[in-house]
Amino acid sequence: MIEVADLVKKYGSTTAVDGLSFTVKPGRVTGFLGPNGAGKSTTMRMVVGLDRPTAGRALVNGRPFREHRAPLGVAGVLLEARSVHRGRSARTHLLGLARTHGLPDGRVGEVLEQAGIASVARRRAGAFSLGMGQRLGIAAALLGDPAVVILDEPVNGLDPDGVLWVRTLIRELAADGRTVLVSSHLMSEMAVTADHLVIVGGGRLLADTTVDDLIARVELGEVTVRTPDAERLGRRLVALGARVTSPAEGLLTVTGVRAEEIGATAAGENLVLHELTPRRASLEQAYMELTKEVAA
């Protein structure tokens, strides 16, 4: 579990993180979202002990990360995939990490296979593409078989197969009961991957909620109606103040009245409905609505 309580980070007169509190629970994927400059990276650096908070605290499994005797077995972290000696091979890089933590050499081969880079294990990391570098960074994060996994933009530079691999991996890690925190700017990925969202802006918490609950906050006000009585229903709805278009025979797109009012109107006129569907916002629309003021 990750616990962030009243976390503050100031750089001179600039406040990067301002009284931030949230909890990342095990068994689910938590998406960590926010505009550029929102304080996400600074928060993650404080969680793993790379930056000291000005105030507040960040705990990983009940204590500050730097107090764990074998941190690689507690939390696996990918913050910057390029933080690798460019002259070392992927295997040598991982062996160095493993031996500092007393992990068996065999574990290196396991994560190389898991990350899909076993065939290039002896290639210098400096020759890796961005996507292969991401895979190596994720392999390093998984090396200690950690209970907590923190990944910053893990699909950056990956091809579609790599994106699918990361999506499947983090879902499996959460299903295993691990604590998974993933930062990303790709709303389409978060929509199909995250169970929970922590959204920040201007260093402050904007939302701590599920994907479905966030989307439900946004009213698009558009309803799709299918009916064999489209002309009659359309006239009746216009009389109620609705805006009605008919993109195809038997199909209406209605704005200005709620789905419940449309249903009641149809029932009152004894009109048959084959479909009555309020248009659901996308995660991207809900996110943009929430962050539009802090991003301005």
| CATH number reported for the structural domain that contains residue 264 in this entry | 3.30.70
pLDDT at 296 over 70: no
Q: What was the pLDDT predicted at 210?
A: 93
Mean pLDDT of 217-231: 88
Q: Are 2 and 168 in contact (CB under 8 A)?
A: no
* Token pair for 10: 């100031």
For residue 289, being part of any structural domain is answered with: no
Triad 108, 178, 184: Cα angle to 5°: 85
pLDDT at 293 over 80: no
Give me the residues paired with residue 15 across strands: 10
Dump pLDDT digits (tens) for 50-106: 999 999 999 999 999 999 988 889 999 999 867 788 888 999 999 999 998 889 999
265 and 125 in a single domain? The answer is no
Mean pLDDT of 200-222: 88
For residue 287, being part of any structural domain is answered with: no
Mean pLDDT of the chain: 91
Given pLDDT bands bounded at 50, 70 and 90, which one contains residue 221? confident
Q: What was the pLDDT predicted at 295?
A: 57
136 and 208 in a single domain? The answer is yes
Rounded-to-integer distance, Cα 128 and Cα 203, Å: 34
Rounded-to-integer distance, Cα 52 and Cα 61, Å: 18
124 and 187 in a single domain? The answer is yes
66 and 175 in a single domain? The answer is yes
Mean pLDDT of 10-15: 93
Residue 181 φ/ψ, nearest 5 degrees: -120, 125
195 and 252 in a single domain? The answer is no
Q: Are 26 and 37 in contact (CB under 8 A)?
A: no
206 and 235 in a single domain? The answer is no
232 and 147 in a single domain? The answer is no
What is the domain-level CATH number for residue 13? Answer: 3.40.50.300
Least confident of 76-85, 94-103, 147-156, 239-248: 76-85
Count of domains observed in the chain: 2
76 and 125 in a single domain? The answer is yes
In which domain, by residue range, is 230 found? 222-278
Of 167, 198, 216, the residue at which a domain comes to its end is: 216
The pTM assigned to this predicted structure is 0.82
75 and 133 in a single domain? The answer is yes
36 and 135 in a single domain? The answer is yes
